Amino acid sequence: MTVLLLILAGFVPMTGNPPCLDHGSAPEPEDYASGIPVITYHQITVHESAYSATPAKLRGDLQKLYDAGFFLILPTDIENGLSRIPFDRRPVMITFDDGWEDNFRYIDLPGDSQVIDPDCAIAIVNTFIEEHPDFGSGVVFFISWDKVPFGECTEEKLNAVLDMGHYIGNHSADHLAFTKIPPSRYWEQVIPALNSFHRRLGLRTSEINVVAYPGGQIPRGVNAENVLASMEYRGRPAVTQGYLVDGAVGSFKNFYQGNKYRISRLDMALYSVPRLLNWSNIMVESNARPSLHDDLPWRPVNSE
């Protein structure tokens, strides 16, 4: 009775020392697999080509990634040390390059109304996310301005992509390969593209700060990374991350050691999820922390 009154009064008698929170020292990143698969698609269509995937393949890939314990991340999650990822999942980023109409298409219904084509990329992703809320909630659309992004209704669709919780990246003004122009001319591809985004998105353009290189590469040994890092747009860095297509799974450790402009990606027109799972450096499935207080086993010590 006395104890109850004391508790009601807000006073709890101490019976010995409280248990120590013993998290141990943060693990070294090289002790753990730290690869983050970033996968990319181009066109999503039933018409087979070297760069396309069918709607059925995309649906199948999403299911296989989900079943293998993956969780969708966005470029912001990499900057934030992947802190949003549930303790029993592992990260994957899904990207779509170029802004094809089959990535986001409306179809007309009788009587002047429109719906999103259920077989376009964004509808397939949204449906899967709705049915699997523990898969995470966003993918990246890298848009280039050498054609009309998403075919038509560009302004409405770009805003809708952001409204739906997805992410927009810069895929250049003219889709010129960065290996074919000197770094002193990169700005001609990056800045006019941002101006085009700004005309449709206004202030929301501040969220567009990652680039996928047209052609999938940037040259080595020509200061390309420093040129990209120093580029500004309306008082903020124009490019904080750069994405290749090099058929590799990049290491989180490399990113935190400063390699933000050579993030690896796999082209899923050439790749399968079972093959992806054979990569030796990707995190093991459901490598859960013993408790929510513990560090993620693969989070580097310097991930501020």
**Which residues contact Zn ion by CB under 5 A?**
97-98
CB of 296 to Zn ion, least distance (A): 33
> How far is C-alpha 97 from the geometric centre of its chain's CA atoms?
12
Nearer to Zn ion, 58 or 245 (CB): 245
Distance in Å, CB of 51 to Zn ion, minimum: 9
Cβ of residue 175: shortest distance to Zn ion, in angstroms? 6
Among the listed residues 285, 267, 288, the one whose alpha carbon sits nearest the alpha carbon of residue 277:
285
What is the nearest approach in angstroms of Zn ion to the Cβ of residue 62? 21
Beta carbon nearer to Zn ion, 214 or 297: 214
Closer by beta carbon to Zn ion, 33 or else 143: 143
103 Cβ contact partners less than 8 Å away, ≥ 6 residues apart: 43, 44, 96, 120, 121, 122, 141, 150
C-beta of 262: minimal distance to Zn ion in Å? 17
Which helix or strand (DSSP H or E) is residue 157 part of?
A: helix 154-163
What are phi and psi for residue 138, nearest 5 degrees?
A: -155, 150
Residue closer to Zn ion (CB basis): 251 or 264: 264
Task: Compare residues 77 and 97 and give the one whose CB is closer to Zn ion.
Answer: 97
SS3 214: helix
Nearer to Zn ion, 41 or 71 (CB): 41
Which residues touch 153 (CB under 8 Å, ≥6 apart)?
A: 106
What one-character-per-residue DSSP string does 141-156 give? Answer: EEE-SSS-TTSS-HHH
Smallest separation, CB 125 to Zn ion (Å):
19
Nearest to 259 by CA among 93, 40, 36, 27: 36
